[in-house]
Amino acid sequence: MRGHQRNRETTFTELSAPESDWLDRFVANPDDAGENADAARQLVARVLEQLSPPARLVITLLEIEDRPVKEIAELTGWSATLVKVRAFRARAEMRKLLAKMAKDKYCNRNLIAAV
């Protein structure tokens, strides 16, 4: 149980207040989401560029192309279990990259404001 708690993924119920607010606004008025769509696409592209090739492949096939695990296993020659493991690790790698980007952005903003 302890190991499971350490490695569990975030669900929609565990979103922070700003993330939840954005999600609520998107659900209420999805037409306004187009304003931020280009920025979101650029961010996703930037994160994908920084992923390792196997992580980029599994995220692209699983999340972007919405292919099932079994099909990805057949395409790559990996076992279904390996596809799931690589997807889990790729998501963790993406979280680390996003956290680093956010930290760099806010640290740089605070440094500029202090000057």
**Residue 4 domain flag:** no
Number of domains in the chain: 1
**Residue 9 domain flag:** no
What dihedral do alpha carbons 37, 52, 15, 69 form, nearest 10°?
Answer: 90
**Residue 28 domain flag:** yes
**Residue 46 domain flag:** yes
CATH label of the domain that carries residue 82? 1.10.10.10
**Residue 78 domain flag:** yes
Burial of 112: CB neighbours in 10 Å, binned 0-12, 13-18, 19+: exposed
**Residue 16 domain flag:** no
Range of the domain at 46: 22-114
Return per-residue pLDDT of the chain as tens, 115 residues.
555 555 555 444 444 555 555 555 655 666 666 666 677 778 888 889 999 999 999 999 999 999 999 999 999 999 999 999 999 999 999 999 888 887 876 665 555 555 5
